[in-house]
Structure 1
């Protein structure tokens, strides 16, 4: 079951410039991490830097073949994905496949936050939306 919107991800090659924009909006960096499987660094920004708030994630490539390299090369960055927290990552992945979402990951991977596991799916039609399913260790 989907529990809540965890974060909205934006791809950028300029995380420090984007950080200035996040600060100007009154958001605080609550976590910085790396998702090695995807070749990205992730900065999570939230009101007051609070962990339990819906966050903005700035996703930056750490290598030429990263998950966001094509996105930042084509358009310079921008909206990348919507992340939802789920109570059972494997079950939600299977359910969304049945609903027509295309899996981008063969199996869940470690995310950029401690205790975070993720898997991405894609809804090509009608909106071209990448959705990140997120589950945290209890």
Structure 2
């Protein structure tokens, strides 16, 4: 299985407050902006593409969203690293065979058509890792 860094998710309080840094200083371009309001997600997202990487700025839409809880517990900053895999189902099976645990309730398809699931941070020594694929791009 190939694992390629897909994006870095960064928890922020207000996207509009930090977006100028990513656009003007890092010379990124705003690729997309949307709101995911499904229960357990509840986040505004800005996708910024720099020359060689993608950054997702994540702003909570309410005080109970996972991003709001993350900011309250850990502060603003890197929320997760996402790795694109060839086939999400196969990657999950292979990882489980190695004893990796997942946050099963996070398995979903996002607004951009990306299938994703988060690995339980217990299996990664505390780092939240997303595995994802893009089934419509195969």
Normalising by the residue count of structure 2, what TM-score does the alignment of the two structures yield?
Answer: 0.83
CA distance in 2, matches of 1:8, 1:107: 17
Query: 1:119, CA displacement in angstroms?
Result: 0.9
**8 A Cα contact 1:116 1:134, kept in partner:** yes
**8 A Cα contact 2:106 2:118, kept in partner:** no
CA shift in 2, pair 1:61/1:2, >3 Å: farther
Give the alignment of 1:1-138 within 5 angstroms. Answer: 1-23=1-23, 24-37=25-38, 38-47=41-50, 53-106=52-105, 108-113=107-112, 115-124=113-122, 127-136=125-134, 137-138=136-137
Q: Which runs of 5+ in 1 are unaligned?
A: none
RMSD (Å) for aligned C-alpha atoms: 2.0
Divergent runs of 4+, >4 A: none
CA distance in 1, matches of 2:118, 2:66: 11
Query: 1:107, CA displacement in angstroms?
Result: 6.2
Which 10-residue stretch deviates more, 29-38 or 78-87?
29-38
Give deviations 1:36-82, integer Å, cap 9, x for gaps: 3311121111126xxxx420111111122212121111233111100
**8 A Cα contact 1:32 1:112, kept in partner:** no
**8 A Cα contact 1:41 1:112, kept in partner:** no
Normalising by the residue count of structure 1, what TM-score does the alignment of the two structures yield?
Answer: 0.83
Aligned residues: 133
**DSSP-derived class of the 2:62 partner:** coil
Query: 1:15, CA displacement in angstroms?
Result: 1.0
